[in-house]
Amino acid sequence: MKTRICMSLLASLALLSGPATGQAVEEPRRQPNPLVHVEDLAVHKYAPNSPDVYELFKAIRLFYGRKLMVESGKNSLPRMVDNMTVFGDQLIVYDEPEQVERIIEALGQLDTPSKVESAQPQSKPGDRFEVLQYSPRFVGLQTLQSALSPFARQLFLNDEEGHDYYLNNVSVVPELASVIVRDTPAHLAQIREVLENLDRPAAQVLLSAQLVEASKVPTGNAVPAELGDALSRLVGYEHFAVVATSSVRSSVGPGVRLQLLLSTDHAKYSLDISSSAYDPKTRSLTIEECSLKRLATTDPNESRLFYTSCVVAANETTVLGSSGSTPLFAVLRITPVNDSKSTR
């Protein structure tokens, strides 16, 4: 049966990772990104007892998840990595030794069969059940299964010989690319509504990136006057030219990572974007991580010129950052392709 972590245990984790006893417990906050050397880190593989490793991962990440800036050598820039991830049916914890010990201790408290509770009460004898087979068009089976976790419960049934038994109300059948739901008509109507609201095409946008170089004399391929005026107020230069462009059409939303390659006459660059949310009402894209890297031709290491996070509004040109004694700007513009509306 699909399970979720008991809320009382999450509260106890908040007490362990939060303020001292007797003080108010705050919402879990994103931990800072420490700078550490790769040789000072420890790795631990944790094989959970819980049937759903992703539920355990989401619970522990609320309080102990963070990103690390990891140095691997004197001549290389730090790279950002997550301190925990799921690999198959195991949790991989990658952090400073003291923090790894804390995480493993917390996992031991959460990962106990007696410390999980079902999201819904069991059905009652005499309940009438119907069956729904749902094949998603736009999202994966795992996404649907996670979305239905609050509705997961066990059904009380009788076989032909009169024996009582229990059956999970939600089953995933990969061979049929379907979710099979058996439940009462009232519960089934709620579940169908959740499925249909979730199974919609993801919002898509056209992302257009440009590298703009400042100059003291007029050059070809000048930027629009409005953008040039804005850049001039930032750095004092009077002339700006587009030296590289790149565009890509993509779905956007939580966890989507994109890479746009931009080539000038002298170098190649990579604009890496990780989106966290797209609001179809305001048509704005929230970018959790964005960095511009210069791709060296002789050195295998990449040189990161800047790193940022921001919100980009549709049909507006946004300056992401700049670098260099002669400023080189990265600008981005997003154009919505569809508004993620669909009927089944």
Confidence of residue 297 (pLDDT cuts 50, 70, 90): low
Share of the chain above pLDDT 70, in %: 81
Please say whether the dihedral angle defined by the alpha carbons of residues 336, 337, 339 and 340, taken in this order, is positive or negative: negative
Give the model confidence (pLDDT) of 33-86 as tens digits: 788 888 888 889 888 876 567 778 877 887 788 888 888 766 667 788 888 888
Structural domains of the chain sorted by starting position, each given as residue range(s) with its CATH number in brackets: 4-116 (no CATH), 130-198 (3.30.1370), 204-338 (no CATH)
Confidence of residue 341 (pLDDT cuts 50, 70, 90): very low
Q: If you ran DSSP here, which 8-state letter would residue 49 be given?
A: S
Highest mean pLDDT among 137-141, 153-157, 168-172, 207-211: 207-211
pLDDT at position 191 over 50: yes
**Six token digits for residue 8:** 């009382």
pLDDT at 236: 84
Contact 19, 66 (CB under 8 A): no
Q: If you ran DSSP here, which 8-state letter would residue 170 be given?
A: E
* Alpha carbons 91 and 45: distance in angstroms, whole number: 6
pLDDT at 32: 56
Rounded (5°) CA angle 177-183-186:
120
* 152 closest CA partner among 55, 47, 254, 49: 55
Share of the chain above pLDDT 90, in %: 28
Give the model confidence (pLDDT) of 108-134 as tens digits: 877 764 333 444 666 777 788 899 999
Hey, is 84 helix, strand or coil?
strand
Mean pLDDT of 224-246: 91
* Alpha carbons 213 and 223: distance in angstroms, whole number: 10
pLDDT at position 266 over 90: no
